[in-house]
Structure 1
Amino acid sequence: MSAWEPNATRKPPATAAASSVAPLAGPAHEVLRAAPEPAPPPTALVFASPHSGSIYPADMMAAARLDAEAIRGSEDAFVDQIIAGAPSLGAAVIQARLARAYIDLNREPWELDPAMFEDELPDYARSRSARVVAGLGAIARVAGEGRPIYARKLTFAEAQARVELAHRPYHDALDRLLASARATHGCAVLVDWHSMPAAAARGQRARGGGSCDIVLGDRFGAACSPKLTALVERELESMGYRVARNAPYAGGYTTEHYGRPARRTHALQIEINRALYMNESTREPTQGLIKLAADADRLTRALADLDVSSLR
């Protein structure tokens, strides 16, 4: 279904979202708008899906010991489909095409593990962050269950190439979308959409009890107005979802980097339990994908109706 067809009937694909291993054809990300530039954005909303990409470039796989299927567990599969209706409701959407394991757009670009590289990293590399230690820096060292992805050490030149191909253009485009929203509406509202393994969701209790369906990350109130977080929480709970805040996910690089309420940009991360809409073993969607997409549209409408001048 096209993002431009809000009344079309959503149907999940019959099989799991396909990944591909090939040279990249076209841009590393896509931007979808309610109206093409230079028309001003109809709302202050910018939605991002940095981890739903499923293209594994040939240069990555030539260096890998694992095949693409073994790495796919790190993808936020189908999240782009969950928010596919957003452009027709006034939100700009930016979404990755390349797989997260190739370059993680929700990390600082130089958050790199020196053990992965044959040459020395520059002084500006952030090699001691908790994410790097876990093997999940800007270029992941491990896939699911801690399996090493690569058969050889990479070069820093390879990391630079990935940043220039995908990370820098994505964030340049996201910056422009947020600037346009601020210029038109006085502030920007960024929602960064993700999915989480069911095991992570089971380990976190939602408000009111029970394991959570959705985690809202606002950097413990630093990245957006409390009114925005409360609105999203209230809307989701009214739809029957069990919602937690900031644990186990308080928001990654995108939420932390862009969430500056004092500078008229509010950022909120939404993590969705994959068990709600897919079989994690087969990576096939379930009928839950239809409900989640409809509920994401309902949430988008509520956000579009929000008086953003009231956000502080």
Structure 2
Amino acid sequence: MEPVLITRGNSPLVLGFPHTGTHVPDDIHAKLNDEGQLLRDTDWHIEKLYDGLIEGATMVQATFHRYVIDANRDPSGQSLYPGQTTTGLVPETTFDNVPIWREGEEPDADEITRRTALFHAPYHAALAAELARVKALHGYAVLYDCHSIRSVIPWLFEGTLPDFNIGTDMGRSCDPLIEAAAHAGTQAMGRTEVLNGRFRGGWTTRHYGQPDTGIHAIQMELAQASHLDTEAPPFALSDAKCAILRPQLTDILTRILCAAKAAGRAPQH
């Protein structure tokens, strides 16, 4: 299976999906324990949730699971949140701090290097190419990184996660107009929301978000209670919840694109 799936459009919007993939090569799957083989920490079904919301949007989807390698982590292995609990480039545990590998089968440095080349690098090469392509068409590009996570995970955060969690790396990854538009959009929905809370944007947002060059990036972490029937196996998508959430996401994305257009074209370098 190819490590990345691309659906091309010609709007300035690129939707990134680093964590929706469920493919685990057989040799890696055999090293996962029973808990690991549940793939519990998948961003379940959000590629379906976002499909068709904005005409002309490009979609870049990793097909491999985050337990193979996490496409939203720094390939150097540096932590996104120093001093806070989080999972690494190749996770050793679930988000509940439960081991996922059979004893003695944890990947070593050479294996992580191999997976980086086979999976992480091709995904980001594709994402960078699509951002460059739509920027050439419009003079700017907007990367909206699509995520979801269980709404209650005590090992990572206290209490219940808000429905909408916007990350802009504390305002560094996009023009202030875009951040303000996204935040106003979530505030208008009558749901719980936060800007740059527990999730302020992963490596993708921080790496590509360079507003001075015309590339703006924003991460949206959705609590899975907003669109799943249950946050436990079988992690089924709720048609009723999606019927409410999808128009809200369309409104938020539309606001972001309007703000990006208003921000104007960045100087070319």
Taking structure 2 as the reference length, what is the TM-score of the superposition? 0.86
Q: Which residue of 2 aligns with 1:255?
A: 205
Query: Which stretches in structure 1 are left out of the alignment for 5+ residues?
Result: 1-24, 35-40, 112-125, 206-210
- Residue 130 of structure 2 corresponds to residue 182 of structure 1: no
Q: Contact 1:85 / 1:297 at 8 angstroms: preserved in 2?
A: no
Q: Percentage identity across aligned positions?
A: 26
- Residue 54 of structure 2 corresponds to residue 104 of structure 1: no
Q: Which residue of 1 aligns with 2:96?
A: 145
By how many angstroms is 1:301 displaced? 3.5
By how many angstroms is 1:297 displaced? 2.9
How many Å separate the matches in 1 of 2:64 and 2:122?
A: 12
Cα 1:225/1:181, change in 2 over 3 Å: same
Query: Which stretches in structure 2 are left out of the alignment for 5+ residues?
Result: none
Q: Which residue of 1 aligns with 2:225?
A: 275
Match of 1:194 among 144, 147, 157: 147
- Residue 1 of structure 2 corresponds to residue 30 of structure 1: no
SS at structure 2 position matched to 1:281: coil
Match of 2:28 among 49, 60, 75: 60
SS at structure 2 position matched to 1:145: coil
Q: Which residue of 1 aligns with 2:51?
A: 84
Q: Which residue of 1 aligns with 2:13?
A: 45
Q: Which residue of 2 aligns with 1:165?
A: 118
How many Å separate the matches in 1 of 2:216 and 2:143?
A: 6
What's the Cα RMSD here? 2.6
Cα 1:273/1:129, change in 2 over 3 Å: closer
How many Å separate the matches in 2 of 1:100 and 1:182?
A: 28
SS at structure 1 position matched to 2:61: strand
SS at structure 2 position matched to 1:74: coil
How many Å separate the matches in 2 of 1:109 and 1:93?
A: 22
By how many angstroms is 1:164 displaced? 1.8
Q: Which moved more, 1:285-294 or 1:91-100?
A: 285-294
By how many angstroms is 1:59 displaced? 1.5
How many Å separate the matches in 1 of 2:142 and 2:159?
A: 26
SS at structure 1 position matched to 2:96: helix
By how many angstroms is 1:193 displaced? 1.0
AA of the residue aligned to 1:138: L
How many Å separate the matches in 2 of 1:290 and 1:30?
A: 26
- Residue 170 of structure 2 corresponds to residue 220 of structure 1: yes
How many Å separate the matches in 2 of 1:307 and 1:251?
A: 18
